[in-house]
Amino acid sequence: MNRGKGAESSALSFLEGQGLDLLERNYRCRMGEIDLVMKEGDTLVFVEVRQRSSPDFGGAAESITPAKQKRILAAAKHYLMQFEPVPDCRFDAVLFGEDGKPEWIRNAFLEQDGSAARFR
């Protein structure tokens, strides 16, 4: 298993331990990919998982660039086309640094005005 898949599996176990349920793993469309689609209560949670074993080129959070966020947002819009009405949703990140411990950031992606990226 490569490191990325290992981090995804660790993030999935961690989030399930926090009470979230898995809906999709590695959802792909032509616009992008979402590592994990989870459900917390009535809220869909799109999760980006990042692992960095060294801080040399920025940490795990810095690796989620605006371009990467844009692709995740586009993939999420595609995923949400199956729902009517569109449920509440948010974008989280689970980050793994050198210590290997998960850091869960809820509402990790922000719109340009600084508000949390959400669909309603």
Q: Summarize pLDDT for 13-36 with one digit per residue, the tens.
A: 999 999 999 999 999 999 999 999
pLDDT computed for residue 24 by the predictor: 96
CATH 3.40.50.300 fits 3-105, yes or no: no
Alpha-carbon gap, residue 53 to 68, rounded angstroms: 20
The more confidently predicted of residues 66 and 43 is: 43
Bridge partner residues of 33 (DSSP): 28
CB of 68 closer than 8 Å to CB of 61: no
pLDDT computed for residue 69 by the predictor: 85
Domain spans in the chain, listed from the N-terminal domain onward:
3-105
Report pTM.
0.82
Name which of 40-49, 65-74, 82-91 the model is least confident about.
65-74
